[in-house]
Amino acid sequence: MTDHILSQNTPAARDIDIVRSREARRHRFNAALRYALLTAVGLLMLYPLIWLIGASFKTNSEIFANPGFWPEHPTLDGYIKGWKTSTPYSFGTFFINTLWIVIPKVIGTAISCTAVAYGFARFEFPGKKILFAALIATLLLPNVVTRIPQYLIFRDLGWLDSYLPLWVPSALAGDAFFVFMLVQFLRAIPRDMEEAARVDGATTWQTLIFIVVPLLMPALISVCLFQFMWTMNDFLGPLIYISSVDKYPISLALKLSIDTTEAFEWNRVLAMSVLSLAPALAVFFLAQKYFIDGISSGGIKG
Amino acid sequence: MSGDNRFLGLFYLSPFIIGLLVFTALPFLASLYLSFTNYNLMNEPVFTGLQNYIRLFTNDRTFRKSLWVTLIYVFTTVPLKLVFALFMAVILNYKLKFINVFRTAYYVPSILGGSIAIAVLWRYIFADVGLVNMGLTMLGFEPVNWFGDPTNALFTITLLRLWQFGSAMVIFLAALQSIDKTLYEAASIDGAGKWTSFVYITLPLITPVIFFNLIMQMVQAFQEFNGPYIITQGGPLKSTYLLPIYIYDEAFKRFDMGYASAIAWVLFLIIMALTLIAFWSSRHWVYYAGDKRS
């Protein structure tokens, strides 16, 4: 019976086969086209970075003559002289300064944003709606409008030319975006475990540290990583607040290097650029999952 | 667990409340006040009424130029970046191997792009004999005078931001991947082609994300500072002298805090107005799932 039907339908079956193989061919062609386009765009995107790495090992005369990656006469000149810089300090000083800005800022951000997000997501209190609206308003408020009075406040506090103006606002949950992201994340976590802990006599503080923080970890790591990246890249903050060269972070040191005598020592500037990008790149590749997750769940600017 | 103490929540919020008052609310109001004063850091602010604003709009060619350049920059960069990010997300949203490799590769510029190192790199690759012109010459094109020509100079900064399409693309991609595939099957049975499906299914379903990206990119573009400050220093002929640079120069080079605050407020009001227009118009074009309207 089955055979009979099959043999009767042979022409139709053949048609289906033809259509299928045509579809498969179209699918393969389509995929090939996509791969070609994706690869081309990818190369175009990454080539400036690849070239940068190669160029940092080139001689100054080769940088503006050789569009290729491989240096004709590889040299470490750029790295050795660039590290010394034209200032009395080595580039190592600027690296340490950068870390000295970044690390306390990341820690302050993590602690304050967690506490504030916990407050918003788990408690009812007078004025909650207004405060949450204020959080969203801060999120949309362009920094440009608060920058000048902030500078005046820090001047009156005697904090100019120190890292305090860079640390303190973040330690007071000033990056509304991170608070918002953690609140969204917390709202999606069931409260059963916290309630059980409370019934067993834990304080809200203990509940936060021993139950909420471990659950919040993935989001918290995203927050730390983004704060790390943004602070490493921050230029305007240090530009306004830091005036002594010995306190300069990498971003200001690089700006200084293109302004001073090193302006014609291109390979030094490029070599130091490579070094200054290295920590961010390393962190990104070690933890890219958290970046992509953070950005697609919370939606991060960038 | 909220019942024990009505104020416990406020305790956890205390860092935010202090920060909000001291570093956001107070500066916000103070800058509005300063914008009506003459204040050069040496003596106390002197209230001068609307004088700063009158000077801005009647007697300041730099401001007019800067405002114009800023608007051109934002209205070219934001749409180009969103369209490109969406285009690449659609290409990536396909059963491809290595999709994660591509996604990562495209995202790298977003991670690094804001840094000074990349701005310095941009200066080098768009120089007269830089990488871009070497490439153009090799392909048989005329080299382009990127930094000498006002139109081109602004475009190098737009290109720097376009290069960072990755973060917007990742958000688009997440939205595309969450669309129910059966919708496309149903449409294809009804005879809809790919383009029709894209316009009538994909686009409406991702409008919330388009809206989000639009607002974020716009607010960010209006505050662009690093790119023009490092790459072109605002030149040539002030063709890349965006408003944030003008504000910085007035405030921290000429120490004219009152006038700088007035410019900052004009910029703020423009951003606010465009954000409000976007929010208001979103009722007509943003579709939210579960919403009966559309």
Which tens digits make up the pLDDT trace of B126-143? 988 889 999 899 898 988
Judge whether B214 lies within some domain.
yes
Does residue A16 carry a pLDDT above 80? no
Q: Are A131 and B13 in contact (CB < 8 Å)?
A: yes
Phi, psi of A247, rounded to the nearest 5 degrees: -105, 0
pLDDT at A70: 87
Residue A299 backbone zone (phi > 0: left; psi -120 to 50: alpha; other: beta)? left
- The pLDDT-based confidence of B153 (bands split at 50, 70, 90) is very high
- B43 in a structural domain: no
Maximum CA extent, chain B:
76
DSSP single-letter state for residue B38: E
Show the tokens assigned to A116.
Answer: 């504030």
* Inside any domain, residue B12: no
Instruction: Judge whether residue B289 has pLDDT over 70.
Output: no
User: What pLDDT does B2 receive?
Assistant: 43
Q: Is B94 contained in some domain? A: yes
The predicted structure's pLDDT at residue B174: 87
Number of domains in chain B: 1
Q: Which two tokens stand for residue B3?
A: 């019942």
Minimum mean pLDDT range among A114-128, A248-262, B265-279: A248-262
Cα separation, B58 vs B39, in Å, equals 20
Contact between residue A54 and residue A68 where contact means Cβ atoms under 8 Å apart: yes
Considering only the beta carbons, identify the residue of B2, B30, B124 that sits closest to A123: B2
Query: What is the rounded CA–CA span in Å between residue A172 and residue A237?
Result: 17
* A263: pLDDT strictly greater than 70: no
- Most confident range, picked from A6-15, A75-84, A231-240, B142-151: A231-240
Q: What is the pLDDT of residue A301?
A: 41
pLDDT above 60 (res B41):
yes
Please list every residue in chain A whose beta carbon sits closer than 8 Å to the beta carbon of residue B12. 115-116, 118-119, 123, 204, 208
Percent of chain B's residues with pLDDT above 70: 97
Task: Answer yes or no: do A37 and B7 touch at CB < 8 A.
Answer: no
**Could you say which of B107, B138, B217 has the minimum Cβ distance to residue A292?**
B107
Cα angle: B117, vertex B118, B119; to 5 degrees: 90
Quick check: is B68 in a domain?
Answer: yes
What is the pLDDT, as a whole number, of residue B93? 87
How many Cα atoms occupy the beta-carbon half-sphere of A116 within 13 Å?
30
* Strand, helix or coil for residue A66: coil
CATH number of the domain residue B122 falls in: 1.10.3720.10
| Boundaries of domain holding B64 | 60-285
The answer, yes or no, to whether residue B101 has pLDDT greater than 90, is no
The pLDDT, as a whole number, for residue A85 is 84
Let me know: does A98 contact A232? Beta carbons within 8 Å.
yes
pLDDT at B7 exceeding the cut of 70: yes
Set of chain B residues whose Cβ sits within 8 Å of the Cβ of A207: 1
Report the C-alpha gap between A128 and B208 in whole angstroms: 26
Token pair of A292 as six digits: 């992509």
- For B209, the enclosing helix (H) or strand (E) is helix B203-222
Q: Please state the separation of Cα B123 from the chain's center in Å.
A: 21
- Its ipTM equals 0.89
Residues B8 and B181: their CA atoms lie apart, in Å, by: 46
- pLDDT tier, A2 (very low <50, low <70, confident <90, very high otherwise): very low
Residue of B nearest to A229 (CA): B111
Which of A83, A90, A252 shows the shortest CA–CA distance to B117?
A252
Residue B243 confidence (pLDDT) = 96
Q: Which CATH number fits domain A85-298: 1.10.3720.10, 3.20.20.80, 1.10.645.10, 3.30.70.1350?
A: 1.10.3720.10
- A300 to chain B: which residues are within 8 Å by CB? 167
Which pLDDT band, with edges at 50, 70 and 90, does B3 fall under?
very low
Residues of B in contact with A235 (CB under 8 A): 115-116, 225-226, 229-230
Contact A125 B9 (CB under 8 A): yes
Query: In the predicted model, what is the mean pLDDT of residues B168-183?
Result: 88
The interface residues of chain A toward chain B in range 180-209, judged by CB-CB distance below 8 A, are: 191, 194-195, 198, 204, 207-208
Q: Is the confidence at residue A5, as pLDDT, over 80? A: no
Mean pLDDT, chain A, as a whole number? 87
| Torsion (CA) B241, B242, B245, B247 in degrees, nearest 10 | 120
Q: What sections of chain A are H helices per DSSP?
A: 2-8, 10-55, 60-63, 77-84, 91-122, 128-140, 147-156, 164-171, 176-187, 192-199, 204-207, 213-233, 236-241, 250-259, 266-286, 288-298
Per-residue pLDDT, B177: 86
- Contact map slice: A 272-291 vs B, CB within 8 A: 272-274, 276-277, 280-281, 284, 288, 291
What's B37's DSSP letter? E
Q: Pick the more confident residue, B97 or B132.
A: B132
The residue that leads in pLDDT, A24 or B199, is B199
- Please state which of the ranges A19-33, A38-52, A134-148, B57-71 shows the lowest mean pLDDT: A19-33
* Higher local confidence (pLDDT), B95 or B151: B151
SS3 of B233, please?
coil
Please state which of the ranges A15-29, A205-219, B154-168 shows the lowest mean pLDDT.
Answer: A15-29
Statement: residue B166 has pLDDT above 70: yes
Residue B237 lies in a domain: yes
Q: Is residue B236 part of a domain?
A: yes
Cα torsion through B136, B141, B147, B148, rounded to 10: 160
Q: pLDDT tens digit string along A120-172?
A: 999 999 899 999 999 999 988 989 999 999 999 999 999 999 999 999 999 99
Q: What percentage of chain B reaches a pLDDT higher than 90?
A: 57
pLDDT band at A289 (very low <50, low <70, confident <90, very high): confident
Chain A residue with the nearest C-alpha to that of B213: A301
Q: Which of B287, B274, B144, B145 is nearest to B221 (CA)?
A: B274
Q: How far apart are CA B115 and CA A229, in angstroms?
A: 9
pLDDT in the model for residue B1: 44
The answer on pLDDT for B184 being more than 80 is yes
As a whole number of angstroms, the distance between CA A113 and CA B112 comes to: 24
Record the tokens describing residue B85, joined without a space. 């990010």
Q: Which residue has the tokens 């991170």?
A: A178
What is the share, in percent, of chain A residues with pLDDT greater than 90?
Answer: 51
The tens digit of pLDDT for each residue in B251-277 reads: 999 999 999 999 999 999 999 999 999
More confident residue, A22 or A241: A241
* CB within 8 Å: A288 and B94: no
Q: Count CB pairs under 8 A between chains A and B.
A: 269
Which residues face B37 on adjacent strands?
B47
